[in-house]
Chains A and B, each alone.
Chain A
Amino acid sequence: MAAAAVRGRRFKWSLELAAAPGGRPRGAAEGRGPLGFAERQLGEGGVHESDKILMEKRCWDVALAPLKQIPMNLFIMYMAGNTISIFPAMMVCMMGWRPLQALMSLSASEYNPMLQPHAALKALESSSRRALQGLVFLVGNGLGLALALYKCQAMGLLPTRPSDWLAFVAPPQRMEFTGGGLIL
């Protein structure tokens, strides 16, 4: 009891040599665990619920990303103009390549599970509305690709006119032979 009396007083410092009867340090006996230590077990249901919503959100983000890219692309397209030079060409390449890459990884993950799918798409797999999100992703990328194609067309990079195939036109076969000239 003497110890309790001593505890009540305030000393500048004190040293208690006698060990506690339980052999445990005092602090631990009072339940002061390490930082972040919770005495009671955390409830499972509530936290899980909010995580799922977040996941869903994230999935939608991934699915909608290509669509969101489109206005930006449109703006860049407008700024780049239709002349063929290195920057517009690079831009068009990127515009075409990215959706293509995304689509390819999509197909790869579907048909061949051994392949490492796109990081963003990995998230989609766990989503419950996977089909819809996949569709949206597909549509977005498709639109991006269409935009790139349109840009190519505007720049005249697509071989859609007869002039583009002119080099492959074979000369017509000659049906008659003729010769002669001034009388020698």
Chain B
Amino acid sequence: MAAGLWALLLPLAAAVYEDQVGKFDWRQQYVGKLKFASLEASQGSKKLIVATEKNVVAALNSRSGEILWRHVDKGTPEGAIDAMLIHGQDAITVSNAGRILRSWETNIGGLNWETSLDTGSFQVASLVGLQDVVKYVAVLKKAAISLHYLSNGHQKWVEHLPESESTQYQLVYSHGTGVIHVLGVVPQSHLNILTFSVEDGEITKQIRVAAPWLKSLNGMCGVVGEAVLVCVDVDTHSLYVCSLETEQEMKQIPLQSLDLEFADAFQPRILATQPNVISASRTQFFLQLTPSHFALLQYKHGLLSHLRDFQQAALVSFATTGEKTVAAVLTCRSELKPGSSDGLLAGSTLEDSRKQESLTCSNQTYNINLYLVETGQRLLDTTITFNLEQSGAKPQQLYIQVFLKKDDSVGYRALVQTEDHMLMFLQQPGKVVWSREESLAEVVSLEMVDLPLTGAQAELEGEFGKKADGLLGMFLKRLSSQLILLQAWTAHLWKMFYDARKPRSQIKNEINIDNLARDEFNLQKMMVMVTASGKLFGIESSSGTILWKQYLRNVRPGSSFKLMVQRTTAHFPHPPQCTLLVKDKETKMSFLYVFNPIFGKRSQVAPPVLKRPIFQTLLLPIMDQDYAKVLLLIDDEYKVTAFPATKNVLRQLEEIAHTIFFYLVDAEQGKLSGFRLKKDLTTEESWEVVIPTEVQRIVTVKGKRSNEHVHSQGRVMGDRSVLYKSLNPNLLAVVTESTDTHHERTFIGIYLIDGVTGRIIHSSVQKKAKGPVHIVHSENWVVYQYWNTKARRNEFTVLELYEGTEQYNATAFSSLDRPILPQVLQQSYIFPSAISAMEATITERGITSRHLLIGLPSGAILSLPKALLDPRRPEIPTEQSREENLIPYSPDVQIHAERFINYNQTISRMRGIYTAPSGLESTCLVVAYGLDIYQTRVYPSKQFDVLKDDYDYVLISSVLFGLVFATMITKRLAQVKLLNRAWR
């Protein structure tokens, strides 16, 4: 019997057909913000190797920007890449704080070898050459230096560094002479220069150089020429030089002679370059004097000379091809201005604190020029001009790929990374070969907004929306709108005719911002994505095309975001309106950004200036006269600000104030508190629940989705009575984890609390269970997943709340009038895998059965019918349970590969799944995001409202026509026969 039921259930979640691959779904892969990048110095090279802050090592196709291969390490600091070195076809990476050394084959992305290193905080890694061959890689840690073979990663030797407690070793230098120089600094005292022999690791020389002004080597010092250390000191306005091999003292060279001035409170930096590890460094180096002022200097034969001065330079970089080394300088075309307040700045306090760094280019146009390092001369015809007008962000990193053209002139391409994590690959004279929006690797908030109606549809809507102006006027209006419809239809026909003549491959249905229109089933939507970098994107959901982007310049990393849709597209001619609340983690200040989600433009509506930190928001279903939903913001004094705050709204608020409640959860203090709104927009605390933080801490609070519809108010039992669901819209599910993580004593707690009254409706403590807890709260059920430390497995628990066979009040739900506590049913299941994200499907009317979408760490999304997680599943099946179609209880929930909705399109490091209803009741739109973004549709109850793709229109219509003809012919025949008989 059970097997039969399983078999019945299985076809519910069939996988996609082969020809449906990519038809309704798309995936975009990202690598994250660049940490290291390497561009091959040849014109024909096709790839660039990158290591990113998302712990990804990848190769990008330099022609198209696509990912050739990608390796994703752990998302935790354990996977962090500390260094990347390129040698020939190999890329050597150091990750996990210097614990793991890996070598990658860059053509196909295979791992050559991997070795684990000793513990110790990682400082720097460097390639080491010996007699014209690069054979080793040196890894410097706080207390030791080790040398490894490049060919197999085996350790050649490891040496402890003397006085490692007091000395900070920060620099390794070698230039093919058979020795390695290791430089350490004792801050404000002296410099330690150790010289190791490459062969056996013996310390051949140890020098101590007095340098009482030196704090750190990183940035302040560089090695130029034949092992000459150059350091800069801001206090004495001078450079210090010292040969690592011969000298015992640092020579001071004052900078005033070169006419160079430092800016206040800026730490000057030295940028040197060593094109090849087996030969000496270049004698030329950059000295950064202010954020936008660089000087190209040369130290040769004991003489310091000033080659060229670069004012208004944003970034500089060295690049070498063959014998030629060039310096690339990125400058702003017009003048750099401090802290512009055009456009997107809202809080003035934020602006002040950032004044120093925010030097923005006024017209966002930048130039890159090449200069020959030996002379400082500008190379002719090497200017790349590009514009960053759209994003408004500053360039942050510059990588140059230089090559010699056939006529021996220098050509180059440039990879620019901007503040908003956009990668641009530029070609002369300013063509953007490709660009990648790497900020999408960290989506924090996401909403789907309906697309607007087409012009014709909108015209019709407008006709009915406006007030009547006479019979004739209405008639004329109707005529004109019909005419427009006719026009649109003929245009459509013409397009069809025109397209039909072209071969199918050439027909491109490109979507751009001008032809955006809602399709008949509303399956195509606008995805508004908020990324951690503060960049907003508008992505068309059916193709994944980025239609607009907007960078909020004053968002600092680590801010929290809350995105709300205040007005949908349903209120033509009012434009749709989204509001983003951004709260800075450090200053606690927040601001609102109001924009049109379809076009990405900032709205004309002025948001209120928020003087106090905002704790939470609440989007009310009431609207102002312009159909914008009212947003309430509660600040740290528990006062409420309304937006929009028109008279109409305030009057409505006054009327319904007694029905509006807030709840705030303070995880740090373990306090949940409820507030009641008063008529003067102040609040009054109405309840408080304290969860002692010594024992447990609050991890998650989940309410229900406000747009969720529940079609069925109860469940039909086997005896045909009704078990009514307890659908409390104010219910919160609060998850706590124990502070004690010992596997015997660890537990998780689940509290179901009414958000209006603070009444604890259900509480349970699951002993020997550990987080991370993933929870879904919907309809009348809560599903959560945790790690069972006793049985050492992942488990699901489902809670369902029922009112019983009688409804207390069928017409109105009030939390204040609920004398009977709901019945709570509970059941647990074993799940064979950990999970990384979980969400429930949602549909327009809530008729379709629900599925749980479970993101697995493998990157697959499992669509699990909710019917499998049903606490009413009987252990012993009875006649009645069979009548109800309840599957007999079995403790394990299996993962069937055919239930993966994303077949082999895995999503790396999935962090969340977003679901949205479409216009079709059967269809739910799904977006999974993490390092990658994946969009698809799911049909939890199959496509009951759509004809199948393979529906045989030809057969059906031919049969129909055939039958019609057959009836006509037989009718005629019958008439003839009757006539003949009559004559007889």
Q: Mark B686-704, 1 if CB is under 8 A from A, else 0.
A: 0000000000001001010
Decide: A177 near B661, CB < 8 A? Known: A167-B711, A182-B667, A182-B701.
yes
Do A175 and B703 contact each other (CB < 8 Å), given the known contacts A180-B618, A183-B665?
Answer: no
With A162-B722, A171-B727 given, is the CB distance from A178 to B661 under 8 Å?
A: yes
Are B560 and A181 in touch, CB under 8 angstroms?
no
Q: By the criterion of a CB under 8 Å from any partner CB, how many residues of chain B are at the interface?
A: 52
Report if A183-B813 is in contact (Cβ < 8 Å); known contacts: A161-B720, A163-B720, A177-B659: no
Closest beta carbon of chain B to A10's beta carbon, Å:
52
Set of chain B residues within 8 Å of A81, measured between Cβ atoms: none
Q: Is the CB of B809 within 8 A of A184?
A: no
Task: Check if A178 sits within 8 Å of B616, measured CB to CB.
Answer: no
Q: Does A14 contact B (CB under 8 A)?
A: no
* CB 8 Å contact bits of B741-780 with A (1 = contact, 0 = none): 0000000000000011000000000000000000000000
A174-B729, A175-B814, A180-B618 known; A156 and B659 CB under 8 Å? no
The binding surface of chain A is classed by DSSP as mixed
B664 within 8 A of A: yes
A114 at the interface (CB under 8 A from B): no
Nearest-CB residue, chain A, relative to B713: A169
Let me know if B263 is at the binding interface, CB within 8 A: no
Nearest residue, chain A, Cβ from B755: A178
Q: Is A41 an interface residue (CB 8 A)?
A: no
A166: contacting residue among B590, B722, B811, B815, CB under 8 A: B722
How big is the A interface, by class?
A: 20 to 34
A-B contacts, CB under 8 A, total: 115
Within 8 A of B (CB), among A137-184: 156, 161-164, 166-167, 169-184
Distance in Å: Cβ of B723 to nearest Cβ of chain A:
9
Q: Contact mask A57-72 → B, CB, 8 Å, 1/0?
A: 0000000000000000
Please give the distance in Å from A38's CB to the nearest CB on chain B. 39
Which residue from chain B places its CB closest to the CB of A179 in the assembled complex? B618
Interface check B888, CB cutoff 8 A = no
Contact residues in A for B666 (Cβ distance below 8 Å) = 182-183
Q: Which of A169, A173, A182 contacts B665 (CB 8 A)?
A: A182
Summarize B's interface: helix, strand, loop or mixed.
strand
> How far is B722's CA from A10's CA once the two chains are assembled, in angstroms?
105
Rounded to whole angstroms, the CA-CA distance of A164 and B716 in the bound complex is 9
A171–B710 contact, CB under 8 A? Answer: yes
In the bound assembly, the distance between CA atoms of A166 and B713 in angstroms comes to 7
Q: Which of A163, A167, A169, A171 is B717 in contact with, Cβ under 8 Å?
A: A163
Asked if B662 is at the interface (CB within 8 A of a chain A CB), the reply is: yes
Checking A173, A178, A182, A183 against B811 with a beta-carbon cut-off of 8 angstroms, the contacting residue is A173
Measured CA separation A173–B618 after assembly (Å): 19
Given A161-B721, A166-B713, A183-B616, also A177-B667 (CB < 8 A): no
| Complex Cα gap A176–B729 (Å) | 9
Measured CB to CB, the closest approach of chain A to B560, in angstroms, equals 5
Tell whether, in the assembled complex, residue A176 and residue B730 are in contact, meaning their CB atoms are under 8 Å apart: yes
Which residues from chain B contact A162 at a C-beta distance below 8 Å? 721-722
Q: Which chain A residues lie closer than 8 Å to B656 at the CB level?
A: 177
B701 touches A176 (CB 8 A): no
Which residues does chain A contribute within 8 Å of B590, judged by CB atoms? 184
A174 to chain B, nearest CB (A): 5
- Contacting A at CB under 8 A, from B794-819, are 809-816
> Contacts A183-B615, A184-B560, A184-B590 known; A176 to B659 CB distance under 8 Å?
yes
Q: Is B614 an interface residue (CB 8 A)?
A: yes
Option from B614, B616, B659, B721 in Cβ contact (under 8 Å) with A179? B616
Q: Which residues of B contact A166 (CB under 8 A)?
A: 712-714, 716, 722
Does B255 interact with chain A (Cβ within 8 Å)? Answer: no
Q: How far is A183 from B560 in the complex, measured between Cα atoms in Å?
A: 10
- How far does the Cβ of A164 sit from chain B's closest Cβ, in whole Å? 8
Q: Which of B664, B717, B727, B756 contacts A176 (CB 8 A)?
A: B756
Residue of A nearest to B673 (CB): A180
CB distance from A163 to the nearest CB of B (A): 4
Does B812 contact A181, Cβ atoms closer than 8 Å?
Answer: no
Q: Are A184 and B581 in contact (CB under 8 A)?
A: yes
B634 on interface, CB distance cutoff 8 Å: yes
CB-CB under 8 A for A172 and B810, given A177-B660, A178-B663, A180-B616: yes
Query: Contact check: which of B562, B722, B727, B729 meets A184 at CB < 8 Å?
Result: B562
The answer to whether the Cβ of B304 comes within 8 Å of any Cβ in the partner chain is: no
Besides the known contacts A161-B720, A183-B664, 10 further A-B residue pairs in the complex with CB atoms under 8 A apart: A163-B721, A171-B713, A173-B812, A174-B813, A176-B659, A176-B756, A180-B662, A183-B615, A184-B614, A184-B615
**A residues bordering B, Cβ < 8 Å?**
156, 161-164, 166-167, 169-184
A-B CB contact pairs (8 Å), 23 listed: A161-B721, A162-B721, A163-B717, A163-B721, A173-B812, A174-B812, A175-B814, A175-B816, A176-B756, A177-B620, A178-B703, A178-B756, A179-B618, A179-B661, A180-B618, A180-B662, A180-B664, A180-B665, A180-B755, A181-B665, A181-B701, A181-B703, A184-B583
Q: Which 7 A-B pairs have the closest CB atoms?
A: A179-B618, A175-B814, A178-B755, A163-B716, A180-B663, A172-B813, A178-B661
